[in-house]
Amino acid sequence: MSKIAVVGAGVMGSAIVASLIREKIFTPAEVIAVDVNCRKLSVLKKKFKIKTENSISDAATKVDVILLAVKPQSLESLCENFSTDKLVISILAGTRVAKLKQLTGSAKIVRVMPNTPAAVGCGISGWHASRQVAKNEKVLVRQILESFGEQAEFKNEKMLDAVTAISGSGPAYFFAFAEALEKAARKMGLGKNAAAFVGQTFFGAAKLADISEIPFAKLRENVTSKGGTTAAALAVFEKAGLTKIVEHATLAAKKRAEELANGK
Ligand SMILES: NC(=O)c1ccc[n+]([C@@H]2O[C@H](COP(=O)([O-])OP(=O)(O)OC[C@H]3O[C@@H](n4cnc5c(N)ncnc54)[C@H](OP(=O)(O)O)[C@@H]3O)[C@@H](O)[C@H]2O)c1
């Protein structure tokens, strides 16, 4: 059985360790968490009974897979005096395969764009693998990514900029809309109930879409009767150009993802 080092025990790294153990992709004995922060490591060690290391070089010799979950700006210092030929999976935003190859020394790179719902096992990850990643390694990559949600492989690395703009940043779009709806609910006098009514509406709508598998347009139609309340609200969104606004916003996110990947 493979062993994995999760490098960076922060928000995402800790969530990934939790998913790997919960879904039994690896046993605790097969997981090493690596971080410069001993306090974060001792929390993980206590909670999941995994092994820990302070140095990526020490961990790398003991595993088959290295999963990088540090901030992109920490990558260069992390990889100083480090080189490996192991499979490297990176979740670093905007860090291209070419750069990961150059800094880690490995030709076997999988670049992943996950999102924060991964923390509750409901993420979605887009990923791209360098051509040196073998078929059996891709099977393991899918198992790892599916431990915290859904996944899809993209043959063209550039598609990860689009994935970033849709699902990477996407949770924030929903939170922004929820925030606006909560403010509107307060103005209508819902007071302390506002957040619960908005939150449960989002949760219920998402669950309905997920379980029913009905297309979004049809689900919207199902709540909208002619001349009714929903139609009145949707007409306001339509007049304000909601579809165009979303298109422009996601294009801005995609452009920024491209700029960041080009070091701007
Ligand atoms: N959070 C998101 O929404 C999200 C979504 C998709 C992708 N990502 C990507 O996920 C990655 C991790 O994000 P995060 O929010 O989990 O970051 P985070 O909470 O800051 O975690 C990064 C961890 O890495 C540690 N670290 C820094 N330098 C290190 C080194 N040289 N060796 C070992 N550990 C080191 C940090 O320690 P210190 O705190 O002591 O510096 C920290 O514990 C980022 O690259 C981000 O682009 C994040």
pTM of the model: 0.93
pLDDT tens profile 158-172: 999 999 999 999 999
d(CA 151, CA 148): 9
pLDDT at 252: 98
**Distance of CA 89 from the midpoint of ligand 1 (Å):** 14
Long-range Cβ contacts of 186-191 (<8 Å, 24+ apart): none
**Distance of CA 185 from the midpoint of ligand 1 (Å):** 36
**Contact (Cβ atoms closer than 8 angstroms) between residue 209 and residue 219:** yes
Which tokens is 24 given?
Answer: 């039994």
Nearest CA owner, ligand 1 atom 5: 115
**Phi, psi of 225, rounded to the nearest 5 degrees:** -95, 150
pLDDT at 263: 79
> Hey, which of 34, 70, 88 would you mutate to test ligand 1's pocket, going by the most ligand atoms within 8 Å of its Cβ?
70
Classify residue 126 by its DSSP letter.
Answer: E
pLDDT at 143: 97
d(CA 108, CA 58): 19
d(CA 102, CA 160): 19
3-state secondary structure of 66: strand
pLDDT at 2: 63
Classify residue 107 by its DSSP letter.
Answer: S
pLDDT at 261: 86
pLDDT at 262: 86
| Topology adopted by domain 168-261 | ProC C-terminal domain-like fold (1.10.3730)
- How many C-alpha atoms does 90 have within 13 Å on its Cβ side? 31
d(CA 152, CA 159): 11
d(CA 86, CA 63): 8
The CATH class for the domain spanning 4-154 reads alpha beta
Classify residue 77 by its DSSP letter.
Answer: H
Q: Show me where the domains of the chain are located.
A: 4-154, 168-261
**Distance of CA 10 from the midpoint of ligand 1 (Å):** 5
Other beta carbons within 10 Å of 4? 26
**Contact (Cβ atoms closer than 8 angstroms) between residue 75 and residue 68:** yes
Which regions in the chain score pLDDT beneath 50?
A: 1
Instruction: Kindly state the greatest CA–CA separation across the chain.
Output: 68
**Contact (Cβ atoms closer than 8 angstroms) between residue 92 and residue 68:** yes
